[in-house]
A and B are shown apart, each in its own frame.
Chain A
Amino acid sequence: MAGTPILSVRDLTTSFLVDGEWKSVVRKASFDVGAGETVAIVGESGSGKSVTSLSIMRLLDTASSRIEGHVMLSGRDLLSLSEKEMRGVRGNEVSMIFQEPMTSLNPIFTIGRQISEVLTRHKGLSKQDARAETVRLLEKVRIPNASARFDDYPHQFSGGMRQRVMIAMALASRPKLLIADEPTTALDVTIQGQILDLIKILQEEEGMSVLFITHDMGVVAEIADRTIVMYRGEQVETGLTAEIFHHGQHPYTRALLSAVPKLGSMENRPWPTRFPVVDMKTGLATEPVEVAGTVSKGMTPILAVKNLVTRFPIRSGLLSRQTGSVHAVENVSFDLFQGETLSLVGESGCGKSTTGRSIMRLVEPTGGQIELDGYDVLRLDPVGLRGMRKSVQMIFQDPFSSLNPRMTVGAAIAEPFVKHKLGTARQAKDKTADLLEKVGLSTDMARRYPHEFSGGQRQRIAIARALSLDPKLIVADESVSALDVSIKAQVCNLLLDLQQSLNLAFLFISHDMAVVERVSHRVAVMYLGEIVEIGPRVAVFDNPQHAYTKKLMAAVPVPDPARRGIRRGISNDELKSAVRGMDYQPPKREYREVSAGHLVQVG
């Protein structure tokens, strides 16, 4: 690092007032960000990474927080400035972009107005100049047809495009430092790739420094010159990104890195493989174990889906006539055997969740056939449907909203058992205790409420509840996506163990290619409601045939700093929408067999 740093943080300690006591959430953080440098702060939830960035910007509520230490921006201590002077710094010398592009723009003003406001306020430009400059900025962040979109409102942009608008707004004042707080976390993987490329290119063009906050080691490897690892409010390790990745000193760093699912780490492993278990104290990892021989091929599949179609009508006008429909699931067919994991992968809106919910009859499919453990699912009456629920259960994405906050954990786990009258109250209690142990929790936790547990623990509880009916199939809808990496590894291992001991079949719905590669026997790639490629995991990952599959895999950030220079070639592709008019006839699709069981859509 040459010259004086742009940002220099010394002994930053931030505390919050909790129940009359000061609790420090960031302790003694010290780091520099040099000119033109990208520094990443990485850590899991609760590590204090976001609080660090908010402390630098002084965006914390002054009544309940206390920031100590020094934050020097080009030689000025931001912590000693008055609030008025600080307003001149924010959005001017330092800009910030946030995680949620859907809520960080004001919906009632045009994007052009929101960007030019920054210019007229901070740079004193006239209205006309500001407009010209805004168009230039929109072009800079590669928004197609920028001048025509000046007067568009935020809702007319997709998530990725909104994040571009946010970046344009952040760049408007030509900041010395850009703080990006999880800017790609809420985006789909192909869009994430575009935004990361864009940030890299803009940084070269503008020569600004970037402080990048993320939980994703893949993103870190791709973007950061130097990396700071945070753990429970402590800065545990700082260094060049390659150093951290290859010769991490702190056990936590090594634990974090080995828990990260890496795309391509499954070469020469035919079966799903557990994540290595790492001791947080020593950083030593155990050799991961393959989970082989669970699939009962040759028998009748536990789940057979044929030509499943689910459409949602779009109504508009005074009489709410149907004017079109969302073709969420279009002609989807697959089989799933006992003890097997089939993953549905794809980006948001591709219909993977709707497929899962259609199989559960949580949404009503439009057509097709679903055979599940002997039930003809689409022709079941309410009584039969209730019976079917014993065979298939679901685990949701967000462990914070999937448990009833007013019900004790024990009651929640026992409820399905009691509801289906599978035994006495005594038996329900024993079953609950048994299940809690199975998912790695202790039995005395049954009397507590969900809010007393962490995200990972809650997901275990959700799994225990799903298991209480002894189902044969579990639909796991993004069940590990919201979890921190180390917890994600634990929960994946749990699922694999349960598959082995209970011979469960999983329909694993996920957008996370690296996790999918790890846990599945077979993979189906979905795009705009259709399966474009399906086959054994090894075949699909080693020999992807469909253009979309290839694109999806190329977009996944790989946690390997050696790949840092690689650009994907910036594109402005957006995810297409599956909204169709009334007269739309879905085209006839044909599949080509690449190898045994590996089918790819043609035409």
Chain B
Amino acid sequence: MTAVDQTLPIPAKREQSRAWRKMKRNRSALVGLCIVAFFALLAIAAPLLPIPDPIATSWSAIRKAPSAAHWLGTDDLGRDILARMIWGARASLMAGVFSVVIALVIGVPFGLVAGYFGGWVDMVISRVTEALLAMPFLIMAIALAAFLGPSLTNAMIAIGVSATPLFIRLTRGQVLAVKTEDYVEGARAVGLNHFEIMLRYILPNIVAPIIVQATLTVATAIIAEASLSFLGLGQQPPSPSWGSMLNVAKNFLSQAPWMAMWPGAAIFLVVIGFNLLGDGLRDALDPREA
């Protein structure tokens, strides 16, 4: 029994580079990253790409199957689906990402405060959250979007606010679990204030489930934007978004299945991409994962 225990041969690295190195080794996370990056690049580069005008109609090319002229076919007004897909990626990705960012920015702090302080603060926040959760997500988003006025920005705000209660509740629950750990009490014993404890001791230990929930919510938000667009509350026609394309396409499923196929596949891929990326981020940010 010597006083010095054996040392472990693990080199220390800075947190950022450590996370990135782990990310690089995780193949599924890289696939997710590639998918998300691919769509993001398409969306950003849309004006530069040699594609037809996404809102130009053509009576001679209504509901044409994929061909050399129109790689992904055309829709019921003869618009090129490839062009609409690429331009639509902008609306859909923005709707997905920004509404989740809104939900995180509002939801996580409220959840932290509610869980950490407890008492009447928690009581007020939790009861309001529960009241909001009692309302179906989409109904609330529609009501808010209608109240704010029809535009893509307002749709994103509406979706974000509607998704907020979910994050408040999730964060609060996680805080309650972490709050009882000895290291939180130890932080108090050292003399840290509440803000420092929440920021340095609690938040880093609850990010994992929040990241996972956020990536899942991106998917929900993309679909919600589709629904709002269908009601005329989201992306305003004739500007495309995947959701609105899908909604139009469902009337022509038997005559022109490609109209639904492409936006459907794109939403599916992006959602998978975000989920893989989220899982990878969760593992990469956790120092306990080798």
A interface, CB within 8 angstroms of B: 255, 259, 277-280, 360, 362, 382, 385-386, 389-390, 393-394, 396-398, 401-408, 415-416, 419-420, 440-442, 444-449, 451-454, 456-457, 462, 465, 469, 486, 489-490, 493-494
Contact = CB atoms under 8 A, between A and B. Distances in A.
A29 B119 CA distance: 55
Interface in B156-202: 181-183, 185-193, 196, 200-201
Given A406-B287, A448-B12, A451-B288, A416 B191 contact: yes
Nearest to B196: A419
B48 interface: no
Given A404-B183, A420-B191, A441-B4, 6 more contacts: A394-B185, A401-B182, A403-B186, A445-B7, A448-B8, A493-B3
Contact of B190 (A255, A405, A415, A489): A415
A435 B179 CA distance: 28
Contacts, number: 98
A279 B1 CA distance: 5
Contact of A456 (B5, B200, B205): B5
A385 B3 CA distance: 35
B190 A277 contact: no
Given A402-B182, A404-B200, A454 B189 contact: no
B204 interface: yes
Contacts of A454: 5
Nearest to B289: A451
Interface of B: 1-5, 7-8, 10, 12-13, 181-183, 185-193, 196, 200-201, 204-205, 286-288
**Closest 6 pairs between A and B when the two form their complex, measured CB to CB:** A447-B12, A389-B191, A406-B204, A402-B182, A449-B287, A440-B3
Contacts of B205: 404-406
Nearest to B287: A449
A255 B189 contact: no
B1 A489 contact: yes
Contact of A440 (B4, B12, B183, B286): B4
Contacts of B193: 382
B147 to A, nearest CB: 36
Contact of A405 (B5, B189, B191, B287): B287
B200 A407 contact: yes
Contacts of B187: 404
Contacts of A447: 12-13
A360 B190 CA distance: 10
Contact of A362 (B4, B12, B185, B200): B185
Nearest to A477: B182
In the complex, which of the residues B191, B193, B286 has the most CB atoms of chain A within 10 Å of its own CB atom?
B191
A393 B189 contact: yes
B135 to A, nearest CB: 26
B254 to A, nearest CB: 46
A255 B205 CA distance: 39
Contacts of A415: 190, 192
A442 B8 contact: no
In the complex, which of the residues A406, A440, A449 has the most CB atoms of chain B within 10 Å of its own CB atom?
A406
A457 B185 contact: no
Nearest to A416: B190
Contacts of B185: 362, 394, 396
Contacts of B2: 277
Nearest to A387: B191
B167 to A, nearest CB: 20
Contact of A278 (B1, B4, B189): B1
B182 A490 contact: no
A401 B181 contact: yes
Nearest to A409: B12
Nearest to B18: A449
Contact of A259 (B1, B7, B8, B196): B1
Nearest to A280: B1
Contacts of B288: 405, 449, 451
A419 B2 CA distance: 34
B190 A389 contact: yes
A305 to B, nearest CB: 17
Contacts of B1: 255, 259, 277-280, 486, 489-490
A442 B286 CA distance: 24
Contact of B191 (A419, A449, A456): A419
A563 to B, nearest CB: 26
A429 B8 CA distance: 21
Given A360-B189, A441-B4, A401 B183 contact: yes
Contacts of B188: 362
A402 B10 contact: no
B8 A402 contact: no
A186 B196 CA distance: 35
A237 B286 CA distance: 41
Contacts of B190: 389, 393, 415-416, 419, 465, 469
A82 B31 CA distance: 42
Contacts of A394: 185-186, 189
A420 B190 CA distance: 9
Contact of B8 (A278, A452, A494): A452
A76 to B, nearest CB: 41
Nearest to B205: A406
A396 B186 contact: yes
Contacts of B286: 406
A406 B8 CA distance: 18
B184 to A, nearest CB: 8
A362 B179 CA distance: 13
B55 to A, nearest CB: 49
Contacts of A406: 204-205, 286-287
A89 B5 CA distance: 43
In the complex, which of the residues B1, B8, B13, B187 has the most CB atoms of chain A within 10 Å of its own CB atom?
B1
A402 B190 CA distance: 12
Contacts of A393: 189-190
Contacts of B12: 408, 444, 446-448
Contacts of B8: 448, 452-453
A117 to B, nearest CB: 33
Contacts of B191: 385-386, 389-390, 416, 419-420
7 contacts: A386-B191, A396-B182, A401-B183, A402-B181, A406-B287, A407-B200, A407-B204
